[in-house]
Amino acid sequence: MKLSDRKFKVVVIGGSAGSFSVVSKILSQLDPGFPLPLVLCLHRLKHVRSGLVEGLNMKSKIPVVEPYDKEKLRAGVAMLAPSNYHLFVEFDSTISLSTEDVHNHSRPSIDYAYSSAAYSFRDKTLGIILTGANKDGARGMKSICDKKGYTIVQEPASCDVDAMPQAALRLFEPDQILNPDEIVKALNSLVV
């Protein structure tokens, strides 16, 4: 089935080392009429608390915000997991945050963001895992796959650090393996 024939409620993008430039590229080439809520879960240095959202906003074609707890997902808005909080996507299309323990040495944990979206929206979830030096995210992507959501893994050869995509590929077979240009194309194909 073509990606554009599927109905999604949320797109979740996760990345770690090297992902800032990829996410920035995706956001800068996204159709301004992008019709879905976008959740970004990126590993960031705990003590660099600010700057990421501003950095992403500079080039992005859609607004990027750090959500407050229980904020509603909005079509065409990218919500970036705040530093030092886990982010979950809830049944009622709200975001909830958590300060519980680090997972895979990370808070936010990409696994948590993916698996909460899979749990809430099942096959209406589109998950994209990007470059990174950690295995966080792989299990979460698998849970999207298990719930028949759509999964895209960044092509390892196009990654700064391919540990994260490789960890994902060891756990399940994604719908697509794409380089950043192709990821942009895939996302823009969702614009009707």
Partner 1 sequence: MGLNSCGVMTYKEYLQVLKEHSPYDFSDYSDNSIFRRIQKVMRDHQLSLEELCEKTQGNRYFVEEVVEAITVNTTELFRDPAVWKYLFEKHIPVYRGNNFINVWHAGCSTGQEVYSLLIIFSELGLLDKVRVFATDISQKALDIAKKGVYQHQIDRGCMDNFNTVFENHGSSSLSFSKYFDVDEKNDKISVKPFLKERIKFIRHDLVRNEMPFYNKVDIVFCRNVLIYFNVKLQNRIVQRFYDGLYNNGSLVLGAHEGLSGFFKTKFERQGPIYRKSNTFHLRY
Question: Which residues contact partner 1 (rule: CB under 8 A)?
Answer: 46-47, 49, 66-70, 82, 84-85, 88-91, 94, 96-101, 112, 115-116, 119-120
Cβ–Cβ under 8 Å, residues 93 and 121: no
Q: Least distance from C-beta 60 to partner 1, angstroms?
A: 20
Of 30 and 124, the one with the shorter C-beta distance to partner 1 is 124
Q: Which of 19, 43, 86, 175 is catalytic?
A: 43
User: Is 136 an active-site residue?
Assistant: yes
**Cβ atoms within 10 A of the Cβ of 189, count?**
13
Handedness of CA 69, 11, 83, 174 (dihedral sign): positive
Q: Two tokens at 180? A: 């950043």
Which conformational region is residue 134 in: left (phi greater than 0), alpha (psi within -120 to 50 degrees), or beta? beta
Of 65 and 190, the one with the shorter C-beta distance to partner 1 is 65
Q: Name the packing angle between helices 19-29 and 52-59 (round to 10°).
A: 40
User: Is 50 an active-site residue?
Assistant: no
Q: Least distance from C-beta 100 to partner 1, angstroms?
A: 4
Of 96 and 188, the one with the shorter C-beta distance to partner 1 is 96
Q: Least distance from C-beta 22 to partner 1, angstroms?
A: 25
Q: How far apart are CA 88 and CA 57, in angstroms?
A: 22
Q: Least distance from C-beta 78 to partner 1, angstroms?
A: 16
User: Is 103 an active-site residue?
Assistant: no
Of 86 and 159, the one with the shorter C-beta distance to partner 1 is 86
Q: How far apart are CA 155 and CA 173, in angstroms?
A: 13
Q: Which of 106, 116, 120, 136 is catalytic?
A: 136
Residues marked active site are found at 16, 43, 136
